[in-house]
Structures are given as C-alpha cells and as structure tokens.
Structure 1
C-alpha cells in the first residue's frame, strides 16, 4: 500500500492504520468519538495527503475546465475556489473535485485519492484540442485539513496571514510555523477550517508542530461521521460512474453552459438521495430500504451520529417513493423502522 509523507507521524501518535483506496491510513488515534467531538467543539486535523492534485495552466486552461466540469469556472478569480464535478457522458460522475484558481491562467484541482489515475487518464484524453498544460503534483504536496470552530483562532497567532478575516473558499499563501504553505478555507466536516498545502518534505515537521499546539489528530473514522452528519456525499457511495448526481441536493453545481455529458445530466434522475433516522440499530452501505413490501432503494452511507446520539443514514431510493415519511431498513433479515429527515442531519 502507498503511504503519505505523514505515515511515521501517525505511528508515533499511536494511530490504528487501515487500508483505504490503496493507502495505509489512520482510522483513529484516541478514539472516534473523542476525535469527532474535538472537531465539532474545538479543533482537529486530518491527513488528506492521499488526495490528488493536478495543475492546469496556459491560455486554454479555463476553456478546458469549463468543458470538463458543469460548474462555472469563469466565475473564479485568483485566490478563490469552488466545489465541482467531473461528469462522464453517461449521466454519472468520474469524480467530485475542488478547483482553486492559483493565478492568471493557472488552476489547481484536488481529486479523490482512489480516483487519481482514473481522473488523470480521463482529463488527458479530453485535453488534446486545448492549449493547456497539465501537471500531476500529487506526490509534491502534504495536505492537512485543520477543522473545527476554533481552527482560525488556533492557527492565526502562528502565521503571517489573516486567517480570521479570510473568506470561505479563499485560497492564499502564507507562512505557518516557519513553513511556506497555501491555505484554503474549505473542508469536509460541516465546521469552519482550513486545508493547508505544504511541500511534501516539510509535511511531517509541520504536522508535529501542529500537534504541539494542542490540535487533535483525527482519523478516517471521525472524518466519515463528520461528513455524514453534514450531509456531504462521498464518491463511491452517494456519487459514482452510474449514479445520476442530481439525485443528491447538489443541483446548484450545474450551471447553464456547454459541458461534457450535459445531455445526460439534463435527464431527470430516477432516484433521490434522502436522509434517514433510526432509533437504535445502525445501518451500513448496501442495506436494503423498503416501503411496505417493496424494495425502493438502499443505504449509501450510515453510522451512529456521535453528535445526535442516534443512527443516521443516507439512502438512494426511487424518486416516486422519496417523499414518504416512513421507511424500513433490512438488517440481517429483520426490518427496522426509519424516519425520513432533512439533509444535512447537523447544522452548526
């Protein structure tokens, strides 16, 4: 398995490591609940260096990104970022991504770890007609997500950048604890925070310095429960090659412009992503969802919510059943009642 440049730091911190998308990654340190709570109430940090980073530059970079994504990249300015998709031509997604405008005619794209090779091949195949230079920088960066309501006030005394005044989705350079970094006020937890880009050979030293500030290391377990509470989709669960992305609540991503796969994207989805609340029994991906005797869909993500104290799940169900209030989820041959609730489950 691949290892991020922070692998040794995780082992020093007593992390329990697990395979994830071909990477050996920390699932937890002190424990999922403690790490989850640290991010909800204070500040925690995640190693997300396994994600991919592609740089696009040249006179045709904007036109290329406009074609391969449905969001309007022309609305970005240097120092700004937005969430976006890489659609295929069959009504699904190659990946969901973030795009940062790093400068004039220069953009950075962050992609999911398990999709790096697939995304690169997809984009290279489409780039031939555009004046764009593509560089895979995935091995050049350590990416640390510092998340929580106290993220800005914790980091601000240790940087020359004004983190308190930084706007959501801003992207800017700075010095942090004697390291040159880029900050992005983005995240995947439902809380405030920054994703910090630092050169790979400096990543371990920066991680250790952040630990000395009292920032709680958090693993994949807490990252998943945090994003689930916030209603954020995860590629391979709520999104995929054969899942119409407009089954989710993310229709705002799609703008009225030409882009790859628009004809299929314009078709109404046959399923809808809904939220479910259960009383006691946690449910997992793949569990079947019923309405009466009819199987109307399946769970895409589920867990017991550390913040709310009861099981929650997202499920893809038939569009004509999605407005119902009551469902059942089958767990080991027995069905358990589930109430439809709004997504997100948690709002800060």
Structure 2
C-alpha cells in the first residue's frame, strides 16, 4: 500500500486483521474483512461496524456563522438547533453539487460540517473562499476526529447498553453531545448510510481504536467499503462523484428534499434551484433493475425501447438482499415512468431493464 495514501487511526488494526485494503478517495481503506455479502447481511439482520474516519470535518464558528452556513448550503439551516443535524448540499453557482454533507449545530453560532473524504480539501477551500463577507471562522478539523458507524436492526439495543443516556427515542438526524462510551467522550448521532437503524460516533482520533475494539466484543461484524456500497445502493442513497456531481443538481440527483430555494435567505446556486423547483429539471435520477443478465455499471448508456439514448447509469451492483442487479441512473425527465422497460448498454450487449423505486429494501 502506497505511503502516499492517507490512513485512519485504525489502519494498522485492519492490516493486522487481514482485511483487504484498497485506495478510496486518497485513503487506504478496508474493502472487506470476511466477504461483502456476509458483512452486508450482518447489517441487514444484526449489526455491523464501519470505520468512516476518512470523512472530513469542517468547523464554522463566529458571530455570523449561521449566516455563512446558510449562504453555503442548499437546505434551510435556520431550522437547525443544538442537537439537530441536517442533510444538505454544497452547490456551485449553477446548482451543481460540489458535495453532499451533514451539518451539525454543536453550539451557539458553531457548526460541524461532515463532508466526503475525497472532497475535504476542495470543500474547505470553497467554504473559506466565500467566508470573507461574514464574521465567521472556517477551520479544517478533520485530523482531530475519528468516526465510526454502528448499523443494523440490533444496533440501537447494543448502543443503549453501552452509553450513559437514553437513546430509545432518538430520531434520525438527532445527536447528543458529551456521551460516554467505552470510557470515551463522543458525539452520538442517529444517522448512517445503510438504510438501517444505527448511529454514527464522532470521537477524538486517538480514541477511535479503543471504541472499535470495544464494539467487536459484542457480536458486531466489522464491515468494509464493499458492503457500505451495496447497502447504500439497496437503500437508494447517492454517492458523490457518481450519482451526485458538480454537473448534477439536487433536483436531478434525487435529493430535492435537501434544497430549499423558496426561503428568504440567499445561498449559492439558489436561482437555478428555484427555477428547477418551479419548472422542473430536465433530468431525474431513477432506480433501475436488470431484466436480462448483466450488472449496470457507472457510465453505461441508458436507452429507451426505441433505441434513443436517454441517460446513463451512475451506480450499479448485484443486490445481496434480492440477488437482482440494481442501480441508479440519471435520465431525461420525459422518459420517466415507474415500471417502464428500458435498455442498458452492457459492454457490447444491449440488456433489458426497468425503472423501479430507488429504495429497494422491503421492511
């Protein structure tokens, strides 16, 4: 593994455990420990543990921090309060998604923005470059944090047994500060990227290994990036760099709920997003399921049954849950119809597929 790759505080533990390590967004990360299918099924039926310490953290604080955060982000950040988090997008002037992220209000005029690993430096520079007109400080604090995700239908019961607060009523995007787990002080967030119940835990980077090892004492499956990808695809959750890019807006990328262009406050990309909300976007993201044999891969051409090119696959995999080949695709809005049969160009073959719901987890 190249010395140039960044490493999380758990890297050596992964090497020692025999995990398969790959490059991801400039980081050396475990793609699997046992098998992707085994780890995937553990999260769907029991509980799995992910190291997501590669994610970036940007701190914005100061007298006008709330105004700066609102100006940078597409959601209505005025709805935030201490203890509440929000999924949102960092957009460019054309409404394209520079990154999708979660904003935590951790204090009065103090916000922690959790960004995608590969975008951390780019996001930080973008935020910094737009902060001059606000009395607020923007800091890249990524090296101070470790982050773990405990996910699965049995995750909440385990966390409840391990922490000193009541988590039974915590709802998605609620979080608690100053929680103690395995003797360490953490932020406990009811969030995740799997479609299952669970929590994300923000800790000091030097505490991540102790918390990881603590969880593994409790019938918890260590999980890698492979299962993280198949889980999020079954749940219809987008991956930045594939399903969301700087040329795909929230309305096109299927995260319209994270865009609030009708609020009074101005934000970057607002005029484009307001037009798309009022008049519709030319493209939309759909779930796809293969009818014929073949797995839809990023970049594969999507056609209608008349042979007209209507879009492209942005993500695809074989679902461990159903065994079906599934994916996400961005297509011309006029071609959308639930259940409609389409054609995917799989290498040199044209394979029949259909449009389905993006979230394919049956609860």
The question of a shared fold, defined as TM-score above 0.5 by the shorter chain, is answered with yes
Q: For residues 28-39 of structure 1, what are the structure 2 equivalents within 5 Å?
A: 28-39=32-43
1:63 aligns with 2:78: no
Contact 2:57–2:140 at 8 Å: present in 1 too? yes
Aligned to 2:27: 23
Aligned to 1:336: 351
What is the aligned counterpart of 1:117 among 121, 133, 154?
121
Q: Quote how far apart the aligned CAs of 1:91 are.
A: 2.4
Contact 1:79–1:100 at 8 Å: present in 2 too? yes
1:282 aligns with 2:295: yes
What is the aligned counterpart of 1:273 among 282, 285, 309?
285
Q: Quote how far apart the aligned CAs of 1:243 are.
A: 1.2
What is the aligned counterpart of 1:232 among 214, 237, 245?
237
Is the partner of 2:275 in helix, strand or coil? coil
Whole-Å Cα distance in 1 between the matches of residues 362 and 143 of structure 2?
35
Runs of 4+ in structure 1 off by over 3 angstroms are: none
Whole-Å Cα distance in 1 between the matches of residues 298 and 352 of structure 2?
17
What is the aligned counterpart of 2:159 among 155, 158, 170?
155
Quickly say closer, same or farther: Cα 1:135–1:347, change in 2 above 3 A. Answer: farther
Whole-Å Cα distance in 1 between the matches of residues 220 and 333 of structure 2?
43
Aligned to 2:227: 222
Whole-Å Cα distance in 2 between the matches of residues 89 and 259 of structure 1?
9
Q: Quote how far apart the aligned CAs of 1:245 are.
A: 2.1
> TM-score, normalization: structure 1?
0.97
Aligned to 2:198: 193
Whole-Å Cα distance in 2 between the matches of residues 217 and 29 of structure 1?
7
What is the aligned counterpart of 1:8 among 1, 5, 12?
12
Q: Quote how far apart the aligned CAs of 1:295 are.
A: 1.3
What is the aligned counterpart of 2:335 among 321, 324, 329?
321
Q: Quote how far apart the aligned CAs of 1:178 are.
A: 1.1
Q: Quote how far apart the aligned CAs of 1:278 are.
A: 1.1
1:259 aligns with 2:267: yes
Return 5+ residue gaps in structure 1 as ranges: none
Q: Quote how far apart the aligned CAs of 1:347 are.
A: 4.2
Contact 1:296–1:318 at 8 Å: present in 2 too? yes
Contact 1:230–1:347 at 8 Å: present in 2 too? no
My pick for the range that moved more, 252-261 or 235-244, is 252-261
Return 5+ residue gaps in structure 2 as ranges: none
What is the aligned counterpart of 2:311 among 276, 279, 297?
297
Whole-Å Cα distance in 2 between the matches of residues 13 and 198 of structure 1?
22
Is the partner of 1:267 in helix, strand or coil? helix
Q: For residues 56-205 of structure 1, what are the structure 2 equivalents within 5 Å?
A: 56-172=60-176, 173-205=178-210
Whole-Å Cα distance in 2 between the matches of residues 333 and 216 of structure 1?
39
Is the partner of 2:143 in helix, strand or coil? coil
Is the partner of 1:212 in helix, strand or coil? coil
My pick for the range that moved more, 246-255 or 139-148, is 246-255
